Structure formats: C-alpha cells, structure tokens
Structure 1
Amino acid sequence: MIKKILLGLVLLIAIICVTASFQSDDMSVTRSATTTASPEAAFKIVNDFRQWDSWSPWSKLDPGMKKSLEGPPEGVGAIYKWSGNNEVGEGSTTLVESKPNEKVGMKLAFVRPFAGTSDVQFTFTPEGTGTKITWAMQSKKPFIGKIMGMFMDCEKMCGDQFLAGLANLKKIAEAAPKA
C-alpha cells in the first residue's frame, strides 16, 4: 500500500514537472490608468525615488520595510533598495532610462523570495486633456516560477498591485500644483 502511495506521489510530481516545462518562459504584466494630470506631473513622481513611498503599493504592504537610495535621487542612475517582510521581499530598482514626460525605464533585481530580474517601463501618453499612464513589466520565469504559475495567477496578483499603485499615483499627480 505504501509503495502505491509513493509511486502515485512520484507520478504526480513528474506530471507537474513535465507540464511546467511546457509553460512559457516569459512573463509580462501591463496595466494602465488615465489621469487628468499632465504627462509632466506624472513623470516627475515616477522618476523621483524620494516620492515612491507615497504611491508604491509595496510600501504599504510593509510600512517597516528598510529602504535606501543610492546615486542621484531621480533620473538615470538612481537606485532604490529595499528589504522587508515576505510580501515585499528584498531587491533593488535602478532607473536605466528617463525621457522627460514620456518614459521611465527600470531594471528590477530581486534577491528574495526568489532571485531574478525584470524590465519595467512607465509610459506617459497625452490623452485628451490628461495622460494615460502605463506600467509594464517583463521577465523570464525560472522553472520554479513555472510550477508556481500552475497553482496561482502571478500575472493577476502583480497586475492588481499595479492597479493599486496607478490609483495612488493618479491621486498624487492630480493633487500636484499645475505648472
């Protein structure tokens, strides 16, 4: 009887591993929101790491998170490092592209709970009298990420955080003094 249970368990693990190996290597998350604020107002907030805690959804998940800034506080070369609870993990974000009022590009490097990197872009597109802000992230999924993706919707979980962050960003940008 025990042999049958162990054999069944090994078979189940093998099926999960084989199925996971056929999952896509790529993960992509994109969410957008429209604000009445100008592209300049939204860009200034995202491009400045000193303002991140005011709108980042992850800062709210762990108010006791340790954070530090390196390099310039805004623009290319700015680095935001964090270490927090299991919900936020540990890592760094480096600004690698900064096109005023158009785009902010970042390299996200995770240390825990899983090591990995992601490319992140914020784009600011004039739309009517306001701005469409798009937050996008792309990364490669490690094998363990493929297995986890079979049991939980990582794209939705991350996307929900993006929507919360965009809502926070919208409020702050709309409250900023007009230029």
Structure 2
Amino acid sequence: MLKPIAAAVAVLVVSLTVFVATRPDTFHIERSAVVHGTPADTFAHINDFQRWQQWSPYEKVDPNMARTYEGPVSGKGAMYSWKGNSDIGSGRMTIEDSRPGELVSIKLEFFTPFAATNQARFQLAPEGAHTRVTWSMAGPNTLLGKAMSAFGLMDAFVGKQLETGLKNLDATVNPVAQTQSALAGTPSPMPVP
C-alpha cells in the first residue's frame, strides 16, 4: 500500500519539478496608474532617491533601515544603498538612464537575503493634465522565482507592491487633491496604514 503512494508522490514531485524548470528564464512585472501631477513634477519624485522615502512601499518595511546616497543628487549616476532588517535585506539602486518627464531606468541589485540583479523602469506619458506612470521590474528568473511565477505568486506579490507605490506616488505628487478628496468624503487612493 505504501509503495503505490510513494510512487505517486515521486511522480508528482518529478512532474512539478519539470513543470517549474520549463518556466521562462526571465520575469517581467508591471503596473500602471495615473498620477495627478504633471510629468515634470512626477519625474522629480522618481528621479531623486532621497524623495523615495515619501512614497516607496519598500521604505516602510524597516523604519530603522540605513540609507546611503552617492553620486549626483538625481539623474543618471545617482546611487542609493540600503541595509535593513531581514525583511528588507540590503542592496543598491543606480539610475542608468534619466529622461526628464519620460523615463527613469534603474539597475536594482540585491545583496541579502539573496543575490539578484534586476531592472526597474518608470515610463511617464502625459494623460490629459496628468501623468500615466508605468512601473516595471524585470530580470533573470531563479528556480524559486520560476516556482513562484508558475503559480502567479511573483506577479501578485511584486505587483501589489508596485500598485501601492503608484498610489503613494500619486498622493505625494498631488497632496492638494488628496486633501480635497478627504474633505469631500471621497475615499483617498492612499492606503490607510
């Protein structure tokens, strides 16, 4: 009785391993939202790492995180390193391409709790009087990443963080609209902590 069960479990494990191994070698996750500000104002909040504390969802993971800024204050060559608790780990971001009102492209390096190098991009486009921001993250898929992607977990987890960041960016770029929404009784797009 145990042999057929063990054989079935072995077949299931091998099948699952083969399925995961055949997943793509790269991943790409993106989210898009309208930010109620001009492309120039929105770009200024993305292109300067020191402003990220105002809106990035990753800044809230460890309030005691150590931050270091190097290079220019903003734009190409600006670098931001962090070292935090086990939930946020350590890493570095470097702006590789910066086009005012259009694009910020970032090399994203993770050192701990795992090593990885990914690419983050913010593409901006005018949408009426506002700005459509598309935030994407892409990079090589590790075996763990393939397993998470196979079941939609990677897109759900990272995608939720990108969505939160875009909502926070909107609230930061246009705090007047947020205040007016609150006064009018309209729910604010800013998540309540």
Same fold (TM over 0.5): yes
- After TM superposition, the structure 1 stretch with the greater mean CA deviation from structure 2, 83-92 or 126-135, is 83-92
Cα offset, 1:90, TM superposition: 1.7
Residue pair 1:27, 1:155 contacting (<8 A) in 2 also: no
TM-score by length of 2: 0.82
CA contact (8 A) 1:16 1:147 kept: no
**Which residue identity does 1:136 align to in structure 2?**
S
- Structure 2: how far apart are the matches of 1:95 and 1:156? 26
Looking at structure 2, the residues matched to 152 and 103 of structure 1 have their Cα atoms a distance apart, in angstroms, of 28
Where in structure 1 are there 5+ consecutive unaligned residues? none
Q: Secondary structure of 2:88's match? A: coil
Is the 8 Å Cα contact of residues 121 and 135 (structure 2) preserved in structure 1?
A: yes
How much is the aligned-residue C-alpha RMSD, in angstroms?
2.0
Report the TM-score when normalising by structure 1.
0.88
Give the secondary structure class of the aligned counterpart of 1:63: coil
Residue of structure 2 equivalent to 1:105: 105
Structure 1 residues 8 and 46: alpha-carbon distance in aligned structure 2, compared to 1, 3 A threshold: same
Q: Which amino acid aligns with 2:26?
A: D
| 2:35–2:166 Cα contact (<8 Å) kept | no
3-state SS, counterpart of residue 64 of structure 2: coil
Aligned equivalents of 2:7, 2:62: Cα separation in 1 = 43
Q: Distance in 2 between matches of 1:89 and 1:158?
A: 16
Q: What's the CA shift string for 1:123-163, capped at 9, x where partnerless?
A: 11111111111111111101232124345611111111011
1:12 CA displacement: 4.2
- Distance in 1 of aligned mates of 2:147 and 2:134: 28
- Mapping for residues 142-157 of structure 1, pairs under 5 Å: 142-150=142-150, 153-157=153-157
Change in CA separation of 1:94 and 1:123 when aligned onto 2, cut-off 3 Å = same
Unaligned runs of 5+ in 2: 177-193
Structure 1: distance between partners of 2:174 and 2:156: 26
4+ aligned runs moved over 4 Å, structure 1? 1-12
- Matches of 1:59 and 1:3 in 2, distance apart? 51
Query: 2-side partners of 1:41 and 1:155: how far apart?
Result: 28
* 1:91 aligned residue: 91
Contact (CA 8 Å) 1:107, 1:120: kept in 2 or not? yes
Partner of 1:73: 73
1:63 aligns with 2:37: no
| Alignment pair present for 1:131 and 2:116 | no
CA 1:123–1:152 in 2, change beyond 3 Å: closer, same or farther? closer
CA contact (8 A) 2:40 2:101 kept: yes
Q: Report what 1:25 is aligned to.
A: 25
How many angstroms apart in 2 are the aligned matches of 1:89 and 1:98?
26
CA distance in 1, matches of 2:7, 2:92: 43
Using the TM superposition, give the Cα deviation of residue 7 of structure 1 relative to its aligned residue in structure 2, in angstroms: 5.8
Contact 2:122–2:133 (8 Å) recurs in 1:
yes
